[in-house]
Structure formats: structure tokens, C-alpha cells
């Protein structure tokens, strides 16, 4: 074998030895990945069902401009329940850009951003959460300062706004049954909230306020919705 071939063979053996060394390099840390699939879905009900009416008997408006109705004034609050069985509360509130003409006539009111007065054929709606121990009589009255608190009682919009601890929709005046750090008006995902039950459920009282138009061009019954979305 000539010198050239011997040099080539030596270089090839060195390369193999080098790659083999790399293939068997020392590994100081190894990882076992345990992937957990969440078998469940976020879910929410209002008064135990997917669609509930604030007052089954309905309530009447006599046409006085910008009349306000509240859960307190008509005796009809609501209970919102986290019935997912696994997830902590993660809710958002919204409403529709227009009211719903229940007769199907298509004559609706438009959503306004004001929390005190609205124009012709317009409405506004607000909502706040409180401790599940909150009774309808403890919901803020029509003239309560709760409704002018921009932190926790912003007017609802057609876009989703999250219910957060010590923020949007968490009414610090509705803390029945709580004390100290046990701030029951907050969602259970922040601070030390109302304990989730063994079944993974928790609930909050939902108080609301509706501001009706300055005037209306329709006599058709209107449906104003508060939409609670589990996210």
C-alpha cells in the first residue's frame, strides 16, 4: 500500500473515531415528559340553565325618559355558576349591540355607552358580581354609587370584558359572608375566594341595571341581554 493510500485510510479512521466519540458524549441531564390532557371544558350557567329570564312576569316601562330598572328594584337578581367540574372561574360579560325585538318585527334599540342617560331608541346596561350570599335586596339600588364606579361597574359593550379580582365587575360592596382576605365578590381565581366545591363548582350573585331610552319609536317588547361567557 502506497503512502497516499495509507494517509487516506488513517484520516478516515480518525473521522470515524471522532464521530463515534460525539455519538457517545456524556449527558448530564435527561428529561421524562409527562403530558397531561385536560378532560373537560369551561362551562357556565345562569340560574342553573343556559338562558334565564330576569323576571318571568316581565316588567313595564311607562315611557319616562331614562328610567332605570335594577335587580333590586324588580326583585330579580341571578346566580351565575361555574359548572365545569374542574376549572376555576374565568368569565367575561357582554351584551348585544342592539336589543332584541321579541315580536320579530326588527324594531330595536341601540346600545349606548352612557351609564346615566341615553338618547332616543337607545339603552345601556351594567352588571356586577357579588358574593353568592348576596340577596336580591342587597343588590345596588338604582341610585347607588356602585353604578358610578368605573372600576367595577363599566357599561357593558358588545365586546367581551373579563371579570377580574378587584377590577371589572367585582363589586367590593357585595361581600356578604366574607371578611379579611376572604373577598367573596372576586372570582375564585384570585386571592382566597369562595371555595370551589368538591364537584369543582362555584357561584356568584349577578346584580344588574338597565337604563331605558329617552323615547322610543316602537311599542314592540324589547329583550336586553347580559351575556356571561366562560373563557
pLDDT digits (tens, 9 = 90+) for 4-62: 555 554 555 455 455 555 556 898 999 999 999 988 888 888 988 899 888 766 678 88
**For residue 66, what are the domain limits?**
43-55+62-231
pTM > 0.85: yes or no? no
Compute CA 210 distance to the chain's CA centroid, rounded to the nearest angstrom: 19
List per-block mean pLDDT (blocks of 10 residues) for the chain, which spans 231 residues. 52 51 77 91 88 78 92 87 79 96 94 90 96 87 95 97 94 79 65 49 86 95 94 83
**In contact, 130 and 187? CB cutoff 8 Å:** no
| Cα dihedral 14→20→22→26 (10° resolution) | -130
Alpha-carbon distance of 89 to 187, in angstroms, equals 6
Any domain includes 32: no
Q: Give domain status of residue 14, yes or no.
A: no
Residue at 49 is within a domain = yes
Interatomic CA distance for residues 128 and 140, integer angstroms: 9
Sorted by sequence, the CB contacts under 8 Å of residue 97 that are 6+ apart come out as 110, 111, 158
- Is 147 within the bounds of a domain? yes
The answer to the question of residue 158 being in a domain is: yes
Helices (H) and strands (E) in the chain, counts: 2, 11
Distance in angstroms (rounded) separating the CA atoms of residues 197 and 202: 7
197 within domain boundaries: yes
Question: Within a domain: residue 166?
Answer: yes
How many domains does one find in the chain?
Answer: 1
203 occurs within a structural domain: yes
Amino acid at each position: 500500500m502506497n503512502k497516499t493510500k495509507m494517509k487516506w485510510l488513517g484520516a478516515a479512521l480518525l473521522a470515524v473515531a471522532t464521530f463515534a466519540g460525539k455519538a457517545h458524549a456524556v449527558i448530564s441531564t435527561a428529561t421524562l415528559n409527562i403530558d397531561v390532557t385536560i378532560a373537560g371544558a369551561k362551562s357556565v350557567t345562569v340560574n342553573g340553565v343556559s338562558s334565564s329570564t330576569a323576571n318571568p312576569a316581565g316588567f313595564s316601562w311607562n315611557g319616562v325618559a331614562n328610567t332605570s330598572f335594577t335587580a333590586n328594584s324588580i326583585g330579580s337578581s341571578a346566580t351565575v355558576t361555574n359548572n365545569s367540574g374542574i376549572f376555576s372561574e374565568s368569565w367575561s360579560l357582554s351584551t348585544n349591540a342592539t336589543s332584541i325585538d321579541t315580536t320579530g318585527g326588527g324594531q330595536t334599540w341601540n346600545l349606548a355607552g352612557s351609564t346615566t342617560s341615553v338618547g332616543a331608541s337607545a339603552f345601556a346596561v351594567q352588571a356586577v358580581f357579588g358574593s353568592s350570599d348576596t340577596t336580591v335586596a342587597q343588590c345596588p339600588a338604582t341610585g347607588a354609587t356602585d353604578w358610578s364606579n368605573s372600576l367595577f361597574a363599566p357599561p357593558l359593550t358588545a365586546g367581551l370584558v373579563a371579570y377580574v379580582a378587584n377590577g371589572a365587575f367585582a363589586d367590593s360592596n357585595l361581600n356578604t359572608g366574607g371578611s379579611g382576605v376572604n373577598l367573596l365578590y372576586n372570582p375564585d381565581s384570585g386571592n382566597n375566594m369562595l371555595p370551589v366545591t368538591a364537584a369543582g363548582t362555584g357561584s356568584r350573585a349577578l346584580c344588574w341595571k338597565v337604563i331605558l331610552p329617552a323615547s322610543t319609536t316602537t311599542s314592540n317588547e324589547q329583550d336586553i341581554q347580559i351575556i356571561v361567557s366562560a373563557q
